[in-house]
Amino acid sequence: MTDLHRLSIRELSEGLANAQFSSRELTEHYLKRIAKIDVQVKSYVTVTPELALVEADAADTLRKAGGANVLTGVPIAHKDIFCTQGIKTTAGSKILDNFISPYDATVVAKGKAAGLVTLGKLNMDEFAMGSTSENSYYGATTNPWNLDHVPGGSSGGSAAAVAADLAPFATGTDTGGSIRQPASFCGLTGLKPTYGRVSRFGMIAYASSLDQGGPMARSAEDCAYLMNVMAGHDAKDSTSMNQVVDNYVANLNDTSIKGLRIGIPKQYFNVAGLAEDVKARVEESLKKLEDMGATLVEIDLNMTESYVPTYYLIAPAEASSNLQRFDGVRYGYRCENPVDLMDLYKRSRSEGFGAEVQRRILIGTYALSAGYYDAYYVKAQKVRRLIQQDFLKAFESVDVIAAPSAPTTAYKIGADLTPVEMYLGDIYTLAVNLAGLPAINAPVGFDQNNLPVGLQLIGNYWSESQLLSVVHQYQQATDWHTQRAAIAEENA
Ligand code: GLN
């Protein structure tokens, strides 16, 4: 079979179960594509062919012995923020260029237990700070739809790999949009779960009160398979919730669009910088949902203007604290010939961290410093609560809330936006993390340059099943999610 990379997760699962192909054949097929195409896409920081084949053979052996489950032998690739025992984990940073974790992140361990085969580790903005993946020490990843454009970020490698058919699905993380925005830029489905749904253990911390891992794939159905692996309480992560985990695959048809109340925040569609094409495609998708039986309800989200400033205080504050551990002493990059301990700290960090990371450490340290703490950090926490209350109020009258995932389609590589311009591009995704809510991106068409546009649906707490189900129903009635990126078409 030559088109194994075109199969959905369900088709891969069935093909393996019916012995139409083995995990070794499937894995070799993906490794060949990566070797051929990833020189242009640059989605992988590390490819692990030997290990992948060992895991594939083990999956095939297990299957012959009758011990296989639904995903045994299916390949996956992980964002390089998830610790992988024995494989380099860089978080896109020079400071971790030599870091090999002694343990697996819980998400990775769960993947292994489910029989997934690891193809490698995917590029990202350094420490997940960014919206283009250009902040990676390992160079920019390209957008499979147009190689002159970025794939988005920070999970840009995950999005590009799946969009170029270099992995059937991938893990991502979302602190302020890093699953939804790259999914939007690359025409994928990506789910940011409720805070506490997926374990953060072994996921390198950016802003701990906002970080959440989730699936990135071609469809809601494919995401549901990965959510079944990722979700669940973990004793090793005190912020993971002991909450009943749904069977996301079994529930895909449980929510009907008929009667679904979709909130349309009036503030969201008047944002300066919202591109015409994006607005038009999102409105068309809402019209489609309306035709399918949904009711569109105008709602107020009055705190919209506070999203960007609030996030860009809280996230850097937490980052400045989390990143203190990278000091050149026990692991990671260490500067040459330090004259004393202070010199070791200073130069290891100055040489090891990139410009955006240093900017955020400075902002965060300032916001947390004595004298400014109340004026900035405490104030931001109060505003955060108001943002959350805004959503809770809205969910009294609607089931889900619709928005663009991003105000534009993918930027050109090297567009060189100022930091503030870049931060404003996160307007539609940040509030979800500040409130801890789940949200999903679904592809809903293209702009005039044939770059994908995404619709974001935000749900109430623990409503991942509902979000996946709504998008699944939409994807049964449309074919945006089946369209393939240019580079995938050329290498069909
Ligand atoms: N673009 C946002 C930032 O730079 C979000 C990143 C993320 O979700 N990790 O912080």
348 is an active site residue:
no
Identified catalytic residue from 13, 42, 79, 155: 79
Q: Among residues 432, 434, 481, which one has the least CA distance to residue 459?
A: 432
199 is an active site residue:
no
Give me the helices (H) in 299-429, please: 307-322, 341-352, 355-368, 379-394, 419-424
178 is an active site residue:
yes
Structure token pair of residue 111:
């993947």
Say how far apart CA 331 and CA 102 lie, in whole Å. 11
Overall pTM > 0.95: yes
User: Which atom of ligand 1 is the closest one to the Cα of 177?
Assistant: 8
Ligand 1 centroid – CA 340 distance (Å): 35
Say how far apart CA 250 and CA 49 lie, in whole Å. 33
Say how far apart CA 338 and CA 341 lie, in whole Å. 7
Q: Does ligand 1 come within 6 angstroms of the Cβ of 178?
A: yes
Identified catalytic residue from 23, 43, 101, 154: 154
Q: Among residues 158, 62, 135, which one has the least CA distance to residue 419?
A: 135
Residue type at 366 in one-letter notation: Y
Identified catalytic residue from 23, 93, 133, 178: 178
Ligand 1 centroid – CA 18 distance (Å): 42
Structure token pair of residue 483:
């369209």
Say how far apart CA 94 and CA 78 lie, in whole Å. 19
Q: Which residues pair with 459 in a beta bridge?
A: 400
Best residue for ligand 1 mutational test, from 81, 178, 191, 356 (most atoms within 8 Å of Cβ): 178
Q: Are strands 261-265 and 75-79 parallel, antiparallel or unpaired?
A: unpaired
Q: Is residue 220 within 8 Å of 189, Cβ to Cβ?
A: yes
pLDDT tens digits in sequence order for the chain, 492 residues long: 669 999 999 999 999 999 999 999 999 999 999 999 999 999 999 999 999 999 999 999 999 999 999 999 999 999 999 999 999 999 999 999 999 999 999 999 999 999 999 999 999 999 999 999 999 999 999 999 999 999 999 999 999 999 999 999 999 999 999 999 999 999 999 999 999 999 999 999 999 999 999 999 999 999 999 999 999 999 999 999 999 999 999 999 999 999 999 999 999 999 999 999 999 999 999 999 999 999 999 999 999 999 999 999 999 999 999 999 999 999 999 999 999 999 999 999 999 999 999 999 999 999 999 999 999 999 999 999 999 999 999 999 999 999 999 999 999 999 989 999 999 999 999 999 999 999 999 999 999 999 999 999 999 999 999 999 999 999 999 999 999 999 998 888
Q: Does ligand 1 come within 6 angstroms of the Cβ of 130?
A: yes
Question: What are the two backbone dihedrals, phi and then psi, of residue 262, each rounded to the nearest 5 degrees?
Answer: -105, 120
Q: Does ligand 1 come within 6 angstroms of the Cβ of 211?
A: no
Q: Is residue 304 within 8 Å of 270, Cβ to Cβ?
A: no
